[in-house]
Amino acid sequence: MSNYRAGVIGLGRMGSTFDDEITQGGSLFLPYCHAPSYVASPKTELVAGADLHAEQATIFAERWGLNSEHIYSDYREMLDKENLDLVSVCTTARVRSSIVQDVARAGVKGIWAEKPISLSLAEADAMLDVCRENNVVMAINCARRWNPFFSEARKLIDEEEIGNVLQVTVYAQCGLSHNGSHAIDILRYMAGGNVEWVFGEMQSDEAAAGEYDLMGNGYLVFDNGVRAYLRSTSCGAAPWEVDVIGTKGRIRSINNAETFELIRMLPGGRRGRGVPATCPFPFPARMQGMGLTILDDIINAIENGGSPKCSGEDGRAALEIAIALRESHRRGGVKVNLPIENRELRILSSEIRGDDTPARIRRLR
């Protein structure tokens, strides 16, 4: 029986119909986005949705079989009337911070918010403070953390199958805030620590001087001794790759998580320094839809304490690293320590451009 009443704010692609676009297998395991995950989970019931755009609201109601009386143009009315336990916030990042804070104050138990967490560090700080004050669990949808293969990679690292991690490299051509949220977060997940300081190089001096989302490269130093490299400028033949190098082995994710490699050092080789050998990467024992895994994780945090795999703190860390990399370039390529003192710094995620029109309509144009 369903225990948690769920609602969605922002009824576009990620809130509702993104899964319908997936026509072949790959690194996404369905259900993936918010509404279909609530519908498929035996622990939740999708009961309401809210969106300013009437067309999206109509599509959502028809797609998920909801009566029009449970579809709202004002999310505040939905929060007042629907007695919700879980709420997804899938709006543009321009208004995400204020909406998350309103949701947290409305008495819900958990929030599943899209990435990036916000535009500025001050907004992210406020979101975390309000969730903490109201005892609300918040997960940020940097979904690679819940991908079963990345989870298996993290398990191999924790079991020291590749020895001590020395370096993590991520190749992902993208804006540092928008899809860079995914790239930076999976880098942090594989490194298993917190970033202490960075050097950054942006796509241009002009881009670094502004606030708009931008591509860049960086060197990151972690508190556990791991070093990391991020390339979010053009990646050529290495689109969305993750490379984890350890003292005894290596894990590689290739072509946006569609292929995983495990490499171990075997005895022998020149001067007895070992021979790298490719081994079968262990398949996860459980391959459920990633949205279901996320909901299980959020509900576990609600019922048993702790944090989801990608918490609000993790979402804020991804944004802070992106801003620190840009600040390094702005200041002439200097070392930038974290945390950043100026919390008003921001990156205007590329998703907010033209956000007065729903993304699905912009894509059709």
- Structure confidence at residue 273 (pLDDT): 84
Instruction: Assign residue 268 the CATH number of its domain.
Output: 3.30.360.10
> Which of the four pLDDT bands, split at 50, 70 and 90, describes residue 325?
very high
Query: Which among 277, 298, 274 is positioned nearest to 131, based on CA atoms?
Result: 298
Residue 245 belongs to domain spanning: 147-283+317-337
When pLDDT is averaged across residues 2-16 and rounded to a whole number, the result is 95
pLDDT at 64 over 60: yes
Q: How many CB atoms lie within 10 A of CB 303?
A: 11
pLDDT tens for 270-303 read: 888 889 999 999 998 888 999 999 999 999 999 9
Strand partners, 311: 139
- Structure confidence at residue 6 (pLDDT): 98
Do 215 and 82 fall into the same domain? no
When pLDDT is averaged across residues 260-274 and rounded to a whole number, the result is 90
Do 118 and 180 fall into the same domain? no
Of all residues in the chain, what percent carry a pLDDT higher than 90?
90
**φ, ψ (nearest 5 deg) of residue 163:** 75, -155
- Structure confidence at residue 364 (pLDDT): 62
> In 3-state terms, what secondary structure has residue 335?
coil
Cα radius of gyration rounded to whole Å, the chain: 21
Greatest CA separation found in the chain?
Answer: 74
When pLDDT is averaged across residues 226-232 and rounded to a whole number, the result is 98
177 and 322 in contact (C-beta within 8 Å)? Answer: yes
> Which of the four pLDDT bands, split at 50, 70 and 90, describes residue 2?
low
Domain count, the chain: 2
pLDDT tens for 131-190 read: 999 999 999 999 999 999 999 999 999 999 999 999 999 999 999 999 999 999 999 999
Q: How far apart are CA 6 and CA 208, in angstroms?
A: 40
Do 138 and 233 fall into the same domain? no
Residue 25 lies in a domain: yes
**DSSP class of residue 351?**
G
* Cβ partners under 8 Å of residue 341, min gap 6: none
This prediction's pTM: 0.96
Residue 192 backbone zone (phi > 0: left; psi -120 to 50: alpha; other: beta): left
Do 189 and 130 fall into the same domain? no
Instruction: Assign residue 138 the CATH number of its domain.
Output: 3.40.50.720
Do 52 and 198 fall into the same domain? no
Tell me which H or E stretch contains 293: helix 290-304
- Structure confidence at residue 76 (pLDDT): 98
Q: How far apart are CA 5 and CA 45, in angstroms?
A: 5
Of all residues in the chain, what percent carry a pLDDT higher than 70?
98
